[in-house]
Structure 1
């Protein structure tokens, strides 16, 4: 597929989706939301890992407010329901691991787009900003779901009410993201992490995502039964057999993936 607002790249099982509107700090337009959704759906069956990042010096500045003309013309409920929900569901349901490589500012819906990924790696220059209250809105694009789960209720509430930037280092310390990386090492480090996942057991990764996410709704006993069910599936894969053989032979496993 050809796209107007994003770029897609594929190399050795690593698919990259690059938000490509640097002139507006990769603000999310209707077209971009549609293209992100389609790219995820298209690439997840071809890739072993997906990397989402931004062109230029920002990851994503959030909703493209300038495209509306005036605030009164915005139907925010429809926009969230019809455009954000499909995009975020595609990201959440992606069958391969998703890395958000946050290269710069992630604000508003852009911050929450990043937080919906499986792993967030940020350059130290990056900041995360729940900017919504600055313009009289609540956090959306999944922000009220992810923030309390990732950083706890007090920090989630403070981030939402005060709308103050959270540095990459602070986000890592809070547990909001996986790691903050020196700016000069960022690109190489993301590539290394993506390759690490691309060479891994993709079916086990997919079932790991399922197990961890369902744990929020399960009782302990239910979660143990879910683990047993999903582990049974893993135990029937060629990658499990290869992992055991490689362990016994003291070599690196050559996982073939799904």
Structure 2
């Protein structure tokens, strides 16, 4: 297969765009990224690049006519819907309607939105109970990569895409309106499952607008519970979530966003933080692993079980963000787990991201963001310290994508196992941070000093396969989350006797505690300059991230050399 120059035109360099970029490079092609800013700039960048093909894995903006009208260099949209489906709310409607099957379609950009000729399609079963972000980062992402591979192969072979024809029996998708809040609305008298489905379908963006505690809020992160009460009443608080009674039982709501006033910008925060003043008379349900181990509560952001010689600690924090308080709870849980008569301590993420490090939204909402950031980084360092000092063999399971401190948190383990096709971003620099989480100890230990510096300076994503080749990951398990969970537990049990990990087990008895403490202290000296004194504009970068400010251009690190060569020639 010949190598292609491919532009990835996207609204953001998100998880899917990163995965597409990595996959194309792995296949021998040369992808370059263009982030959509304005039509004129995008057209100029792409028209002068000499690209063979433009693929849009995640694009919220309309493709300019100047681009899609060039038939020699097609623009292919990756649409999260089956053939014939059109509109910006494809996944929202699929979840809301509880469809059993869905898909992704690659279609050529034309004047009419999502109505172009079809290049490829990939369908999948759609289990109930998935939230939109989980669906997007899982089955949709897998199908999208399959479609992108097929598009590239067909383009090289000279394929002519098939016009969309609604008279064909297999074309069952239809144009769907953009889902509005009226389509998402519910009453607290409705069933918990119905309300959860409404919230799941709006996960990430835009959330579901509802009345709660006398105010209007967008709701996110819903979990079923069996307790009951007066519909709409807040029954209890646990960790960061509030329990709201419904028509039959109740729901835990983990995150909220104030409905903004005109001109106001609001963002998601833990529900307990948002409703703090309204919760004075609400009872707190204070269970934890240390106080009530092996409990049957349905909502457990941190949970524990034992299997054979393995103690398995799962932490599931919304969007992979770890606040100061969440880190403190995790430290308490780890200390209890370390006291158990087990030989392996397995830590793993839940069904979303593994971890993305500190909680930028909580930091931004603080009275003094820099001081909250400083407290947060010390708290997550404490989590890492508990893992580094564990008597047990520590195994980390990367169940999902991870970034910045989340990657380094996994690396402090003795052994790292990863789910297939996840994406890692082992760097901090783009957020204006030096980094902590013992990265100057654990990353060089895994990949060597030179590669550690390269990874943290280049600020590029790496695939699970690359992480394996570099030595950051020891094994890669199944892509299916359930299968990976079973595989992970088996491998953790087997690590005690596996000859492949003999050196790892011996290394554990020779840890250099003085060096580890030195690394932590030195990192925190830099982080204090970055977080408290704002040495590299962390405050501005945090605010822009939290408020989802659009990028003002494409970072140079994402632009391939061939994509700038034409510009240089033209200028010369």
TM-score by length of 1: 0.72
Choose 133-142 or 2-11, whichever is displaced more. Answer: 2-11
Are the structure 2 counterparts of residues 199 and 180 from structure 1 closer, same or farther at C-alpha, using a change threshold of 3 Å? closer
Contact 1:18/1:54 (CA < 8 Å) preserved in 2? yes
**Corresponding residue for residue 186 of structure 1:** 484
Classify the secondary structure of the residue corresponding to 1:122.
strand
Q: Which has the higher helix share?
A: 1
**Corresponding residue for residue 124 of structure 1:** 420
Alignment of 1:34 with 2:328, yes or no, is: yes
Contact 2:320/2:355 (CA < 8 Å) preserved in 1? yes
* Distance in structure 1 (CA, Å) of the matches to 2:413 and 2:336: 17
Contact 1:100/1:120 (CA < 8 Å) preserved in 2? yes
Alignment of 1:7 with 2:303, yes or no, is: yes
Q: Deviations over 1:86-108 (max 9, x none)?
A: 22111100110111010111111
**Corresponding residue for residue 405 of structure 2:** 109
* Distance in structure 2 (CA, Å) of the matches to 1:107 and 1:206: 25
Alignment of 1:79 with 2:376, yes or no, is: yes
* Distance in structure 1 (CA, Å) of the matches to 2:478 and 2:301: 28
Contact 1:19/1:26 (CA < 8 Å) preserved in 2? no
* Distance in structure 2 (CA, Å) of the matches to 1:156 and 1:120: 17
Return 5+ residue gaps in structure 2 as ranges.
1-286, 290-299, 516-572
Are the structure 2 counterparts of residues 79 and 64 from structure 1 closer, same or farther at C-alpha, using a change threshold of 3 Å? closer
Return 5+ residue gaps in structure 1 as ranges.
218-258
Alignment of 1:64 with 2:64, yes or no, is: no
Alignment of 1:211 with 2:509, yes or no, is: yes
**Corresponding residue for residue 349 of structure 2:** 54
* Distance in structure 1 (CA, Å) of the matches to 2:440 and 2:430: 16
Give the drift of 1:6.
1.4
Classify the secondary structure of the residue corresponding to 2:433.
coil
Classify the secondary structure of the residue corresponding to 2:320.
coil
Bigger RCO (CA 8 Å, 6+ sep): 1
Contact 2:348/2:397 (CA < 8 Å) preserved in 1? yes
Classify the secondary structure of the residue corresponding to 1:55.
coil
Classify the secondary structure of the residue corresponding to 2:306.
strand
Choose 83-92 or 163-172, whichever is displaced more. Answer: 83-92
Contact 1:172/1:178 (CA < 8 Å) preserved in 2? yes
Are the structure 2 counterparts of residues 212 and 80 from structure 1 closer, same or farther at C-alpha, using a change threshold of 3 Å? same
Classify the secondary structure of the residue corresponding to 2:468.
helix
Contact 2:323/2:376 (CA < 8 Å) preserved in 1? no
Could you say which structure has the larger radius of gyration? 2
Contact 2:311/2:345 (CA < 8 Å) preserved in 1? yes
Give the drift of 1:208.
2.6
Are the structure 2 counterparts of residues 168 and 74 from structure 1 closer, same or farther at C-alpha, using a change threshold of 3 Å? same
1:16-35 map, 5 Å:
16-21=312-317, 24-35=318-329
* Distance in structure 2 (CA, Å) of the matches to 1:215 and 1:30: 24
Give the drift of 1:77.
3.8
* Distance in structure 2 (CA, Å) of the matches to 1:170 and 1:216: 31
Are the structure 2 counterparts of residues 209 and 38 from structure 1 closer, same or farther at C-alpha, using a change threshold of 3 Å? farther
Contact 1:121/1:190 (CA < 8 Å) preserved in 2? yes
Give the drift of 1:206.
10
Choose 33-42 or 70-79, whichever is displaced more. Answer: 70-79
Match of 2:464 among 168, 177, 197: 168
